[in-house]
Structure 1
């Protein structure tokens, strides 16, 4: 998997936690680097909790660290430099509806490189990249609902044992290149399911405006009914 894809996976997973996202927003909107005490006060959290989340955001590549004496003095008696945090980028601001074209570009580019190495098709290689990335995000997020939301799918749990995805994060690309993009999309969702430990399956369900994949138990058909005896028999 490409370094860019791994970094994006870490960033997405880090921001899945609502408290950590609040801490990130505090630092990102600051005019200057932010210390632990300021972050804790603005987020109404204990200092130790704020420090934990700040350092996790650093690990994910979303914040950088610098050290500075806040008193402005130097020399003996000036005190120890404070650990301060600054946002690396604000490019994670999303669109409405949420789109992740950068993620699609990373997966397709990494798939093209992998196809050359493994002498396979770009579609198959990009799908493998997407499944690998989905496993990472799913494992970091813990639940399939959180993982789907982080990736922009807008999950909607219905009355039955399934999840309808109300948004396609790759909408424009899927319209123009449905075979390739929808294959990669399905593989990403399969990876999210595997990584989060969810036993349900990704099923293709073409839908205008929404995602072409629906999540449901393996024994449930597209209309929500158990498969008939004919459908379960091998040809």
Structure 2
């Protein structure tokens, strides 16, 4: 499970508690930020319980906090500002296996802009945009922890090629690919763009190949190469050492 999916699952899990879910729905429905007292009255819960649940929703990024005097008064004697809650801009969307249609949308939108503005064939524009996105992902991953990411299937091995395979797998796991390392290669057990691949196979597989190639190039893993190798139950791309 990628870090992003784990955060999404945690956010959804926070709403499983009935009182917490009722509070979130109440706050989300209000046109302005609300106080603990207003929320407690609306959902008919004790104030101390409401405080706990609201702060938990803040911790999960589902609510934002602001401080303001509800009376509108200012200066000495106006009282302390109240702690108010409003729905955050965070969006929750969980799918298993993990899907990353947001990532595909970014690549395709960039490609369409370039294709229409520079009269570039759309397939070429998609490949270029996907490779750039792969390099961006690699650049963001350079400073990440070397601890193996959840979702990378364990594989015993030594040597530089194996080290490169593990590095690539660690990054791809964070984007939903579910890498499996064996026999000096990586097979990807999940396609984050599965629905697109089923309906627009050539375009999506080409995007996948360029995006993963961009990741490999961006990580400077010169001992690895990517190729199209469709196989039932796996992504269309394979990485060889």
TM-score of the superposed pair, with normalisation by structure 2: 0.57
Equivalent in 144, 148, 157 of residue 168 of structure 2: 144
Aligned twin of 1:174? 197
> Deviation digits for residues 140-185 of structure 1, max 9, x if unmatched?
1234333312221111111x33211001111222122221111011
Once the 2 structures are TM-superposed, how far is the Cα of residue 126 of structure 1 from its aligned partner? 0.9
Q: Give distance in 1, aligned partners of 2:133 and 2:63.
A: 24
Report how many residues are paired: 181
Query: Structure 1, unaligned stretches of length 5 or more?
Result: 1-12, 43-53, 218-235
Query: Structure 2, unaligned stretches of length 5 or more?
Result: 28-32, 34-51, 143-166
Judging changes above 3 Å, is the alpha-carbon distance between structure 1 residues 141 and 117 closer, same or farther for their aligned structure 2 residues? same
- The 8 Å contact of residues 111 and 126 in structure 2, kept in 1 or not, is answered as yes
- The 8 Å contact of residues 168 and 209 in structure 1, kept in 2 or not, is answered as no
Q: Give distance in 1, aligned partners of 2:81 and 2:193.
A: 48
- The 8 Å contact of residues 67 and 84 in structure 2, kept in 1 or not, is answered as yes
Judging changes above 3 Å, is the alpha-carbon distance between structure 1 residues 69 and 181 closer, same or farther for their aligned structure 2 residues? same
Q: 1:50-129 counterparts in 2 under 5 A?
A: 66-68=65-67, 76=76, 87-91=88-92, 93-129=93-129
Once the 2 structures are TM-superposed, how far is the Cα of residue 123 of structure 1 from its aligned partner? 0.7
Equivalent in 204, 207, 211 of residue 228 of structure 2: 204
- The 8 Å contact of residues 16 and 141 in structure 1, kept in 2 or not, is answered as no
Highest Rg: 1 or 2?
A: 2
Q: Give distance in 2, aligned partners of 1:85 and 1:195.
A: 40
Q: 1:182-193 counterparts in 2 under 5 A?
A: 182-193=205-216
Q: Give distance in 2, aligned partners of 1:146 and 1:76.
A: 56
> Deviation digits for residues 91-149 of structure 1, max 9, x if unmatched?
3x231222223332332232122112222210110111111111111221234333312
Judging changes above 3 Å, is the alpha-carbon distance between structure 1 residues 194 and 69 closer, same or farther for their aligned structure 2 residues? farther
Equivalent in 174, 179, 183 of residue 155 of structure 1: 179
Q: Give distance in 1, aligned partners of 2:88 and 2:138.
A: 25
Aligned twin of 1:48? none
Judging changes above 3 Å, is the alpha-carbon distance between structure 1 residues 192 and 82 closer, same or farther for their aligned structure 2 residues? farther
Out of 72-81 and 191-200, give the one that drifted further.
72-81
> Deviation digits for residues 174-224 of structure 1, max 9, x if unmatched?
12222111101111111222233333221211111310111122xxxxxxx
Q: Give distance in 2, aligned partners of 1:118 and 1:94.
A: 36
